């Protein structure tokens, strides 16, 4: 759950496979789409943390997808790295001001692409990949699945752990119950939103066990935030 999800939108099967392989090896979760329509569906299913977007795609072009994503408040913040076959296309991408966050010309160096991808993710996910998350006296290690408060280990179930990790990714951000369901339970599970309240309750209890205050804020009519 904590690994960033990278969506690869590429119609060439061989190029798509190479990207998916390298991303998985780099510790990312991956999703793939072979054309523009499929890409939009994948994004609806689960908002990725970053999109590698081929320029020339069947049905809906990469440019058009980028434009649509950057026009919607819900998807605007998702970094897009555009992959283009020719340098002239990159110039056009720039000229069109599609809002792509970065560009790579094919054939690109995989090492460079991964480096640029990390840069983009650091911008939107300050905690980075597999790094320790910290908020005030709370620390959470996504690698070892351990969390502690003021140095004392927290006794969390797997759901509470994912919930805390999600909240700690972006302190201050207000998450709706639906967004938390997506992130913590996944799109395939459909518990009702009351389930979120139950698990937030358990998480609060675990966090306050050592005598600390309640760091989780209930935002009336919306959801929850850390701090
Ligand atoms: Ca293509």
Question: Is the model's pLDDT at 128 over the cut of 70?
Answer: no
Considering only residues 209 and 92, tell me which one the structure prediction assigns the higher pLDDT: 209
Q: Supply the pLDDT for residue 97.
A: 66
Rounded to the nearest angstrom, the distance between the alpha carbon of 86 and the centre of ligand 1 is 11
Supply angle C-alpha 157, 163, 166, rounded to 5. 140
Q: What is the DSSP letter of 106?
A: S
Distance from the alpha carbon of residue 41 to the mean position of ligand 1, in angstroms = 18
Strands (E), 12-156: 29-33, 50-54, 80-84, 102-105, 133-135, 138-141, 146-149, 152-153
Percent of the chain past pLDDT 90, that is, above it, reads 47
Q: How far is the CA of 53 from the centre of ligand 1 (A)?
A: 9
Does 191 score more than 80 pLDDT? Answer: no
Q: What is the mean pLDDT of the chain?
A: 87
Which pTM value belongs to this model?
Answer: 0.58
What is the helix (H) or strand (E) element at residue 216, kind and residue range? strand 216-219
pLDDT at res. 189: 62
| CATH no. of 132-226 | 1.10.10.10
Cα atoms in the 13 Å half-sphere on the side-chain side of 85: 8
Q: What is the mean pLDDT of residues 116-138?
A: 78
pLDDT band at 1 (very low <50, low <70, confident <90, very high): very low
Question: Long-range contacts made by residues 42-45, C-beta under 8 angstroms, separation at least 24?
Answer: 42/7, 43/7, 43/69, 43/75, 43/78, 45/187
Summarised one tens digit per residue, pLDDT across range 142-187 is: 778 899 999 999 999 888 999 999 999 888 888 888 888 878 887 5
Rounded distance from Cα 11 to ligand 1 centre (Å):
5
Q: For 21-38, how does the pLDDT look when each residue is reduced to its tens digit (9 = 90+)?
A: 999 999 899 999 999 999
Cα 58 to ligand 1 centroid, rounded to whole Å: 8
Quote the ligand 1 centre to 71 CA distance (angstroms): 23
Distance (angstroms) between ligand 1 centre and the Cα of 15 equals 9
**Beta strand residue intervals within 92-179, DSSP E:** 102-105, 133-135, 138-141, 146-149, 152-153, 175-176
pLDDT in tens, 53-109: 998 898 888 888 998 988 887 788 889 999 988 777 766 666 556 788 888 888 889
N- to C-terminal Cα separation, the chain: 22
CB atoms within 10 A of CB 24: 13
How far apart (Å, rounded) are the C-alpha atoms in residues 35 and 50?
Answer: 17
CA of 122 to the centre of ligand 1 (A): 27
**Domain locations in the chain as residue ranges:** 5-127, 132-226
The CATH code of the domain at 5-127 is 3.40.50.2300
CA gap 41, 59 in Å, rounded: 13
Ligand 1 centre to CA of 103 (Å) is 14
């Amino acid at each position: 759950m904590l690994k960033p999800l990278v969506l690869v939108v590429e119609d060439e099967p061989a190029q798509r496979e190479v990207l998916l392989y390298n991303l998985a090896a780099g510790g990312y979760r991956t999703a793939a789409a072979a054309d523009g329509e499929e890409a939009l569906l994948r994004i609806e299913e689960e908002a990725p943390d970053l999109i590698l977007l081929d320029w020339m795609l069947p049905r809906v072009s990469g440019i058009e997808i980028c434009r649509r994503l950057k026009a919607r408040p819900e998807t605007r913040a998702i970094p897009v790295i555009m992959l283009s076959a020719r340098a002239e296309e990159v110039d056009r991408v720039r000229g069109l001001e599609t809002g792509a966050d970065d560009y790579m010309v094919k054939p690109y160096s995989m090492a460079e692409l991964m480096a640029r991808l990390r840069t983009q993710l650091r911008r939107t996910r300050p905690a980075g990949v597999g790094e320790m998350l910290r908020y005030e006296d709370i620390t959470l290690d996504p690698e070892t699945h351990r969390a502690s408060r003021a140095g004392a280990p927290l006794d969390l179930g797997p759901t509470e752990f994912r919930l805390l990790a999600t909240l700690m990714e972006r302190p201050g951000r207000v998450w709706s119950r639906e967004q938390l369901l997506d992130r913590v339970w996944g799109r395939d599970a459909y518990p009702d939103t009351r389930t979120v309240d139950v698990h937030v309750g358990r998480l609060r209890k675990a966090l306050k066990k050592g005598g600390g205050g309640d760091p989780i804020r209930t935002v009336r009519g919306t959801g929850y935030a850390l701090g």
